[in-house]
Structure 1
Amino acid sequence: MLNNLLRFSFIAVLVSFCGLAAGQAEDVNSPDGMIRMVTQQVLTEIKSDKEIQAGNLTRITELVNQKILPYIDFNRTTRLVMGRYWASATPQQQQQITEQFKLLLIHTYSGALAQVRDQQMTYQPFRSSPTDTDVIVRSSVVNNDKTIELDYRLYKTPNGWRVYDLNILGVWLIQVYKQQFADQIAQHGVDGLLDFLTQRNQQITTGG
């Protein structure tokens, strides 16, 4: 159940990043406008790249790195997932865990891009104050006649808004991984968590 939830959440992210009409003018300085802008770029890539549609992991990783990750703060996400354990990790460990966590999400859900077809994405009216620095953009995805609520949490940086958490079916991504990370660290330490993430990525890459 958990794996299905996470897999659909990633599909939903990609649909939301791909599901709006190309050519629509957006205010890229606003949280919802930034997300809509990215959608147009990713949709063009998916429709024109047969390797992505076939699930080529190398091309998928390139697309995610080029078009999506610049708008996601994985460092902030990983820091919040690790919670109090973040401070006990060295800067090198923090960097390595962040990178391995990013790769794990890309590897685990690489097939999602190939499944993006005609799902429909709708956004709820976005309201915020000019002084807000942490906001939620609420939306929903219609997939096989099922409507799934999907929310993004973003915060304002000197370089614009960045996504750092995702809510699918009432479960936030950070919540999903927080306990898993805590269990690994409690049993094996920070290095144990890094080894676990690295091994999982290696297993996925080799088809394990």
Structure 2
Amino acid sequence: MKNLLLALCFALAAPFAVASVPNDKPDELVRALTEEVLEILQTDERLKNGDTDRAVKLIEETVLPHFDFRRMTMLAVGRDWRNASEAQRDRLVDAFYDMLVRTYSNALTEYSDQKVNFRPLRMNPDDRTVRVQTQIEQSGGQPVAVDYVLERQADGWKVFDVVIAGVSLVTNYRSTFAQEIRNGGIDGLIRALETRGSEIAKRAEGKS
């Protein structure tokens, strides 16, 4: 589980320094961003000392431009998305984003010399959706496959799903979200996500 959390954290933290990275080739984008992340993890003393606030801040400041969290949330909510008002949808996106960032920020502080390998991209020139396949390798453990699923949008490629060891992020949350909606409706899911994010934040504060 720790290895899977770290794998997803690579995905969420990938856009640390993206301004100079071209966004017209999805594999080059993912490679450049991953290399940026690895360098930061190896050199940032606050992260190495377990500063989760630092991890949260780094993710929050830069992740949005390269992740389509609205689509991620829509896919995770599934068919119930169409029953949500626009205000509810906005709250769902914000709550899901906050929960993900706080859930996986701890993994940034547990980095210990993992390496990332990239598989050749299979893509046609007119493809609108692609999967960039990578593999996180670590001493003493099995490699973890991490695939980034991206869509070509007007302002460049955006990640809308991450598949870790064959498990889709959005699909993994779908059954949990459906149960929350059955129990308390859309507002019940929003409350559950917001509560989960707050609880994670409080636990992180208790460790600092």
> TM-score over 0.5 for the alignment?
yes
Contact 1:14 1:116 in 2 (8 A): no
The answer as to 2:203 corresponding to 1:199 is no
Once the two structures are TM-superposed, the CA of residue 18 in structure 1 deviates from its matched residue by 8.4
Among 139, 147, 150, the alignment partner of 2:134 is 139
Mapping for residues 59-78 of structure 1, pairs under 5 Å: 59-78=54-73
Given residue 196 of structure 1, which amino acid in structure 2 is its aligned partner? A
Give the number of equivalent residue pairs: 198
Q: CA deviation at 1:132?
A: 0.1
- Residue of structure 2 aligned with 1:54, choices 34, 49, 54: 49
Does residue 167 of the first structure (1) align with residue 163 of the second (2)? yes
Q: Distance in 2 between matches of 1:47 and 1:67?
A: 19
The answer to whether 1:79 aligns with 2:74 is: yes
TM-score (structure 2 length as normaliser): 0.86
CA-atom RMSD, angstroms? 2.3
TM-score by length of 1: 0.86
Determine the C-alpha separation between the residues in 1 that align with 2:42 and 2:94.
28
Identify the residue that residue 95 of structure 2 maps to in structure 1: 100
Alpha carbons of structure 1 residues 157 and 51: separation in structure 2 relative to 1, 3 Å: same
2:36 to 35, 38, 41: 41
Match of 1:189 in 2: 185
- Any stretches of 5+ residues in structure 1 without a counterpart? 20-24
CA distance in 2: counterparts of 1:171 and 1:15, whole angstroms: 15
CA distance in 2, matches of 1:67, 1:44: 16
SS of match in other structure, 1:146: coil
SS of alignment partner, residue 150 of structure 2: strand
CA contact (8 A) 2:134 2:146 kept: yes
1:117 aligns with 2:103: no
Query: Could you tell me whether the CA contact under 8 Å between 2:8 and 2:164 is conserved in 1?
Result: no
Partners of 1:48 and 1:173 lie apart in 2 by 29
Cα distance 1:111–1:10, how it changes in 2: closer, same or farther (>3 A)?
same
